[in-house]
C-alpha cells in the first residue's frame, strides 16, 4: 500500500496551505492510501481530518531560519531516519526550511529510497519572482532541483525559467474545489459583498474597507461582510469605526463556508499576493461574482470582465469602481457569476486526482 506523508508547519489555523494539505490528505485517505501528517503544531486541528490519518508532532524552528538551520538539520535527519526502512514512502514537503537539510543528506548519499516531493503553493514563476529575487533564498532553487525527486507547482506561468530549474522534474497540479459546486438560483442571494480569509495587511483588507467607504450611498442597500481571524483584525475594526461605516460586519472564521458564499452576490479578494486562492474557486462554485486584485493566482483563475473582475494591487480607487459597477449593473453581475461558475468545473477533485499518478511511487 502506498504511503503519503505531508510534512508541513501548522495544521491548527485557517489558511490556504493548510486547507490544501487537509483536502488532499482526506482525499487520499478515502482512496485507502496510508496518510500521515507531520507538523510542529497539531493540537486543535482547524479543518476536520479523516479518522484514518495519522498525526505526528515533530519540532522544527520556523521563525529563525538561519539560527535554526543546525537544529533543523538534526531534526530532519532523525525524522527521515525513523522511516528509512520503508521504500514506498512519498514525502510531500512544502516548507523552505527543509530544503538545505534534505539537500545536504542527499549529497551525502542518505535517504535515497524515499520519493521526496517539494510542493510549491504557487505558479512556476515563483522560482524567479519569489526565490531568485531574494538574495538569501536564491541558492534554494538549485538545491530544490538537485535534492528533490519531483517538484509540484499549481500551474505553469513562467516564460523564462532560471537555469537552475530542471523542467523534467516539474509537475503541475492545481488546487481542487473543496466541495461540490452549488447550482443556487441567483434570486436566492442577498445584497452582500463578502471577503473571507485571514485578516492581515497582506490580504489587503484595509484596501477593501477604504474602497467601501468611498462608495458611500451606493452601498446603502448592501452589506460588507469580512469573515476570518488574523493579527490585524482589531486594527481593521477600528479603521471601520473611525470611518463611521455602518453597513460593515466582522465575523469569526468558520469551516462551514459554503452557506456564506451561497448568500453572497459579490466576493472580493484584495490580497497583495496569492498563489492560487481557494476562496476564488469556492466563491465561483457558489455563483458569486468575484473581484480580485491582479495577483498571480487572481490572473490565473479569472478572465477579466468575463469570469470575474481584476484590479491593480493596492489600488482602492479601482476596487471602488469595480464594486460600484457590479452593484449598479445586476445583469452584468449575474452574467459574470454564471461565467465564473462554468469556468471552475475542471477543478473538481476527481478530475485533478489523476495528475498525482505520475508523482507518487
pLDDT 10s digits, 249-305: 999 999 999 999 999 999 999 999 999 999 999 999 999 999 999 999 999 999 999
A 10 A CB-CB count for 183 gives: 9
What pLDDT was estimated at residue 181?
A: 94
Q: Are 279 and 252 in contact (CB under 8 A)?
A: no
Q: What is the DSSP string of 103-163?
A: HHHHHTT--TTSEEEEE-SSBTTHIIIIITTSTTTHHHHHHHHHH-SEEEESB---SS--T
The residues pairing with 4 across neighbouring beta strands, listed in sequence order, are: 35, 90
The residue with cell 533564498 is 137
165-169, long-range: CB < 8 A, 24+ apart: 165/124, 165/127, 165/141, 169/145
Enclosing domain of residue 95: 3-176+349-356
Q: Rounded to whole angstroms, how far apart are CA atoms 343 and 348? A: 11
Q: Rounded to whole angstroms, how far apart are CA atoms 212 and 222? A: 10
Q: Are residues 136 and 231 in the same domain?
A: no
Evaluate if residue 86 carries a pLDDT over 90.
Answer: no
Q: Are residues 103 and 37 in the same domain?
A: yes
Q: Are 21 and 36 in contact (CB under 8 A)?
A: no
Mean pLDDT computed over 137-163: 96
Among 46, 80, 45, 44, smallest CA distance to 60 is for 80
- What is the share, in percent, of the chain residues with pLDDT greater than 70? 100
What pLDDT was estimated at residue 13?
A: 86
pLDDT band at 308 (very low <50, low <70, confident <90, very high): very high
Q: What are phi and psi of 26, to 5 degrees?
A: -65, -40
Low-confidence winner among 62-66, 177-181, 277-281 (lowest mean pLDDT): 62-66
What pLDDT was estimated at residue 64?
A: 82
Evaluate if residue 87 carries a pLDDT over 80.
Answer: no
Evaluate if residue 46 carries a pLDDT over 80.
Answer: yes
Q: Are residues 162 and 208 in the same domain?
A: no
Residue 329's contacts (CB-CB under 8 Å, 6 or more residues apart) are none
In the chain, the number of structural domains is 2
What pLDDT was estimated at residue 15?
A: 84
Q: Give domain status of residue 129, yes or no.
A: yes
Evaluate if residue 328 carries a pLDDT over 80.
Answer: yes
Which run of H or of E encompasses 38?
strand 34-39
pLDDT tens digits along 108-143 = 999 999 999 999 999 999 999 999 999 989 999 999
What pLDDT was estimated at residue 300?
A: 94
Q: Are residues 156 and 40 in the same domain?
A: yes
The residues pairing with 226 across neighbouring beta strands, listed in sequence order, are: 195, 250
Q: Give domain status of residue 246, yes or no.
A: yes
Q: Are residues 135 and 219 in the same domain?
A: no
Q: Rounded to whole angstroms, how far apart are CA atoms 49 and 5? A: 14
Q: Are residues 171 and 283 in the same domain?
A: no
What pLDDT was estimated at residue 205?
A: 97
What pLDDT was estimated at residue 349?
A: 87
C-alpha cell at 86: 520503508
Tell me the average pLDDT of the chain: 94
CATH at 308:
3.40.50.2000
pLDDT tens digits along 8-37 = 999 998 888 899 999 999 999 999 999 999
Evaluate if residue 151 carries a pLDDT over 90.
Answer: yes
Q: Give domain status of residue 181, yes or no.
A: no
Q: Give domain status of residue 82, yes or no.
A: yes
Q: Rounded to whole angstroms, how far apart are CA atoms 105 and 146? A: 11
Evaluate if residue 65 carries a pLDDT over 80.
Answer: no
A 10 A CB-CB count for 289 gives: 31
Q: Rounded to whole angstroms, how far apart are CA atoms 171 and 221? A: 47
Q: Are residues 54 and 92 in the same domain?
A: yes
Q: Are residues 292 and 326 in the same domain?
A: yes
What pLDDT was estimated at residue 304?
A: 97
Q: Are residues 103 and 218 in the same domain?
A: no
What pLDDT was estimated at residue 2?
A: 86
19 Rama sector, left if φ>0, alpha if ψ -120 to 50, beta otherwise: alpha
The residue with cell 473611525 is 242
What pLDDT was estimated at residue 207?
A: 97
Amino acid at each position: 500500500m502506498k504511503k503519503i506523508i505531508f510534512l508541513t508547519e501548522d495544521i491548527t489555523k485557517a489558511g490556504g496551505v493548510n486547507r490544501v494539505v487537509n483536502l488532499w490528505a482526506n482525499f487520499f485517505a478515502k482512496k485507502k492510501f496510508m496518510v500521515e501528517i507531520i507538523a510542529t503544531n497539531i493540537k486543535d486541528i482547524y479543518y476536520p481530518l479523516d479518522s484514518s490519518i495519522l498525526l505526528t508532532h515533530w519540532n522544527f524552528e520556523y521563525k529563525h531560519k538561519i539560527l535554526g538551520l543546525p537544529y533543523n538539520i538534526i531534526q530532519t535527519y532523525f525524522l527521515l531516519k525513523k522511516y528509512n526502512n520503508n521504500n514506498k514512502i512519498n514525502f510531500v514537503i512544502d516548507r523552505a526550511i527543509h530544503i538545505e537539510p534534505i539537500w545536504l543528506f542527499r549529497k551525502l548519499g542518505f535517504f535515497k529510497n524515499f520519493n521526496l516531493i517539494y510542493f510549491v503553493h504557487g505558479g512556476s514563476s515563483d522560482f524567479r519572482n519569489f526565490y531568485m529575487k531574494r538574495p538569501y533564498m536564491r541558492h534554494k532553487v538549485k538545491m530544490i532541483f538537485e535534492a528533490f525527486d519531483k517538484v509540484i507547482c499549481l500551474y505553469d506561468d513562467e516564460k523564462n525559467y532560471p537555469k537552475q530549474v530542471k523542467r523534467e522534474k516539474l509537475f503541475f497540479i492545481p488546487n481542487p474545489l473543496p466541495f461540490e459546486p452549488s447550482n443556487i438560483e441567483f434570486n436566492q442571494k442577498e445584497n452582500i459583498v463578502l471577503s473571507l480569509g485571514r485578516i492581515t495587511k497582506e490580504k489587503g483588507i484595509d484596501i477593501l474597507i477604504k474602497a467601501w467607504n468611498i462608495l458611500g450611498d451606493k452601498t446603502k442597500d448592501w452589506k460588507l461582510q469580512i469573515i476570518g481571524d488574523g493579527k490585524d483584525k482589531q486594527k481593521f475594526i477600528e479603521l471601520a469605526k473611525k470611518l463611521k461605516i455602518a453597513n460593515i460586519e466582522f465575523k469569526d472564521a468558520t469551516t462551514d463556508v459554503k452557506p456564506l458564499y451561497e448568500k453572497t452576490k459579490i466576493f472580493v479578494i484584495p490580497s497583495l499576493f496569492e498563489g492560487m486562492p481557494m476562496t476564488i474557486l469556492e466563491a465561483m462554485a457558489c455563483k458569486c461574482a468575484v473581484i480580485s486584485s491582479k495577483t498571480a493566482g487572481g490572473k490565473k483563475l479569472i478572465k477579466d470582465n468575463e469570469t470575474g473582475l481584476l484590479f491593480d494591487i493596492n489600488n482602492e480607487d479601482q476596487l471602488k469602481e469595480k464594486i460600484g459597477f457590479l452593484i449598479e449593473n445586476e445583469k452584468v453581475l449575474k452574467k459574470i457569476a454564471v461565467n465564473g461558475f462554468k469556468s471552475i468545473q475542471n477543478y473538481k477533485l476527481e478530475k485533478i486526482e489523476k495528475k498525482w499518478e505520475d508523482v507518487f511511487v
